[in-house]
Structure formats: structure tokens, C-alpha cells
Amino acid sequence: MLKYRLIPVLILKNDRLVQSIQFKRYLPIGGAKIAIEFFVNWDVDEIVLLDIDATLKKRQPQFDLISFFARKCFVPFTVGGGISSLDDIRNVIKAGADKVCLNTAAIRFPELITRGAERFGTQCITISIDAKKNSQGEYEVYLLSGKEPTGMHPVEWAQKVEALGAGEILLTSIERDGTKQGYDLELTRQVAQAVSIPVIACGGVGRMEHFVEGILKGSAHAVAAANIFQYTEHSTIIAKAYLKKANIDIRLSSDVTYEGFTIDEAGRIT
């Protein structure tokens, strides 16, 4: 069985990294180029860069920034935002990304999933699914940073993208995003158990325990977060040490492992 993965998500808006809160508020954190310097040394398994302005403003991905990241990054690197054609996929991969993350374009042009998978391999195609409960209390997929409802249940869409050739799913709970309340375990479990491709849980992590819950209770194949990793030195290494203490099979290869330390739920060394 493949090891579980820990993945930082870097959210880019107005050319700055931001902290997202329920897809409504965005608090500036700093420069993306500075962040990548830290994360590549913090034993992460992958890095995801999401440019949330690109699709809304109908512009192409920032190829210069992608190339900069690719030169610094020694782990799999996924890019999302502004990718709406096979040429965009080709150019993002040419710029150095290992995978592309499709969201709005995948729903509007489902054939792009199949064409991308056939041309570049299923392992290169990640589908981002943003979901929350609608006014009827049912989970629903939303587009354009949570602004446009699709009428589709996330399980329905997840099964469809798998059939179309997607290699994995990045599943984000809009309601939990930035709340520090933990993953939406019901949503994560429903989707993860309905497909055979890996599901990455995202949205809501506030304590180290939430990573464990995402795997053991949410059935996720990987756990991702954005905000919690931005403010603490070695945060991803500490998170991995916490996961290993919970008997989660995850790679921990840094020279500094914190395995001999006690780590509280907030990620503090005690």
C-alpha cells in the first residue's frame, strides 16, 4: 500500500499568498517565492499552488512563477488556476509542474479531463472539487471559488471524473475552509469511499489531530492544508511526526524528525 501523504497548499491571490476563510475572506500572508524556500526543506510530500485569481480574471497561469517554483521544488508540484485547454496543460507541465489541478474548466469542458489524461497520463490530472451544503442541506459542488452552484453532488462528480480519466481528487470543504474546526469528515468519507483514485482532504485543519482524523475517520489517501503551515517553523515535519505517533504510515525523512519529542494537538513541542 502506498504511504499516506502530507501536502501544503499555497493559495495565490493578487500575486500574494493568502489565508482563505470559507472562500470569502482572504488575509495576506506574504510572497510565494519565500514560502517555497521553506517548504522544500520541511519534508513535504508534494506542493500544490492554486492561483485563485486566474480563472476569475480569465487569464493564463503565471508561467514565470511556475518555472521558479519548479526550479526550487524537489517533490511533486501541482499547479491550478487559469488552466482551461490542452495547450494550458501542456504549457504548465512544460514550465515544470508535475501535475495540473482542474476545477471550473473540468466541469464546463469534461472532455478536457480525458484529453489531458490521454496526452499526459492520468497521474498528471488532479481534479479540485469544492463543496458545501446547499439550502436543502445536501452537499453540492461549487465553481468559481464557491460562487456558482452546479447542481451536482460531490460523489456524483467524483465518480464521473474518475471515469473520465482523472488521477486524483483534491476535495475542499468550503464551509470548513479557514475555520480550524477540522475536515468535513462526512464529506471526505463519502467521496473517498465512492472512488478508487486517491482523495486529498483539504479545508479546516486547526490542530495536528485533524490530520489523523482525515485519514482514519475520513478515509482520505492524503491530507492537505494551507493556513496551519504558514506560521510555525518546521510545521510540516512536526505534523508528520504527529501522524507517525498515531501509527499512520507516512514518509519522514528529514534530518530533524521530532520523533523523540512530545507534540501537542496545536503542533507545539513540549
Determine the length of the chain: 270
What pLDDT, in 10s, does the model give residues 193-249?
999 999 999 999 999 999 999 999 999 999 999 988 876 656 888 899 899 999 999
Residue 259: Cβ within 10 Å count: 12
Average pLDDT score, the chain:
92
How far, CA to CA in Å, does 260 sit from each of 24, 69, 137, 266?
A: 40, 32, 45, 17
What pLDDT, in 10s, does the model give residues 1-22?
689 999 999 999 988 999 999 9
pLDDT band at 45 (very low <50, low <70, confident <90, very high): very high
Q: How far apart are the C-alpha atoms of 207 and 212, rounded to whole Å?
A: 10
Task: Kindly state the cell numbers that stand for 164.
Answer: 473520465
Lowest-confidence pick of 88-97, 99-108, 183-192, 242-251: 242-251
Give Cα 188 to chain centroid, integer Å: 13
- Class for the domain spanning 5-245: alpha beta
What pLDDT, in 10s, does the model give residues 148-180?
999 999 999 999 999 999 999 999 999 999 999
In this predicted structure, what is the pLDDT of residue 263?
Answer: 57
Q: How far apart are the C-alpha atoms of 114 and 125, rounded to whole Å?
A: 9
Please name which of 217, 211, 160 lies closest in space to residue 185, comparing C-alpha atoms: 217
Whether the pLDDT of residue 252 is over 90: the answer is no
Classify residue 218 by its DSSP letter.
Answer: T
Whether the pLDDT of residue 84 is over 60: the answer is yes
pLDDT band at 144 (very low <50, low <70, confident <90, very high): confident
Q: Which position has the higher pLDDT, 121 or 266? A: 121
Query: What end-to-end distance do the CA atoms of the chain give, in Å?
Result: 32
Domain borders along the chain are: 5-245
Residue 222: Cβ within 10 Å count: 22
Is 130 considered catalytic here?
yes
From the list 45, 88, 130, 177, the catalytic residue is: 130
In this predicted structure, what is the pLDDT of residue 265?
Answer: 60
Q: How far apart are the C-alpha atoms of 252 and 43, rounded to whole Å?
A: 7
| Coil vs helix vs strand at 4 | strand
Please name which of 258, 219, 261, 201 lies closest in space to residue 235, comparing C-alpha atoms: 258
Task: Kindly state the cell numbers that stand for 117.
Answer: 489524461
